[in-house]
Amino acid sequence: MKIVHLGLVDYLPTFEAMKKFNDSRTESTEDELWVVEHPPVFTQGLAGKAEHLLVQDDIPVVQIDRGGQITYHGPGQLVVYTMIDFKRRKTRVRHIVTALENSIIDTLAAYGIKASADPKRPGVYVEGKKIASLGLRIKNGSVYHGLALNINMDLNPFTHINPCGYSGLEMAQMADFLKPCPSVAEVAARLTSNLQEKLVI
């Protein structure tokens, strides 16, 4: 599984590149993990409801094709896009979701942060607060989009939305529990290693 580090990149061209990659892949195309950060942006999923955007400000809202409701991306948040051919791997999307959640949980545990998944709500939680979000798109037997782990960022824009459609849901980040907080690059190296291990079928 190839790891591609894209750095801090605008959301919209990255979204278009994901769709192009998925549409053009063949049976021999290697699966990839794209490691990125984004400038401030709200992304609204296919079933997204406008009422979950509580405050209209200068942060752009991009309509996209993943599942789920609205969420926020910004600098200091680690985003990993999972470009995976799940048919070739003879697995199920539920396995991929579990692998993503467990990879995040194990990464946080390595820093002494006890986290867990919630069977009723996708994502990873610490002390009832959401620290990581998941959102996937399934097309042509493959998966794209992925996960977002809050590391050391401005969480205030999350108060402008109902995160992932949940009113009153509080968000957390690694910096709330660690002083000093590790860099995005350091956490990315640990998380992608866990993903490579857990996504192997």
The residues carrying an active-site annotation are: 164
Buried b or exposed e, range 63-85, using 16+ CB within 10 angstroms? ebebbbbbbbbbebbbbbbbbbb
Write phi, then psi, for 171 (nearest 5 degrees): -105, 155
Which residues, at least 6 apart from 141, have a Cβ–Cβ distance to it below 8 Å? 85, 86, 87, 88
Q: What type of residue is 50? A: A
Cis peptide bond N-terminal to 180, omega within 30: yes
DSSP, res 177: T
DSSP, res 164: G
Task: Evaluate whether 3 touches 33 at the Cβ level (below 8 Å).
Answer: yes
Q: What type of residue is 83? A: M
| Pairwise CA distance, residues 56 & 82, whole Å | 30
Coil, strand, or helix at residue 175?
helix
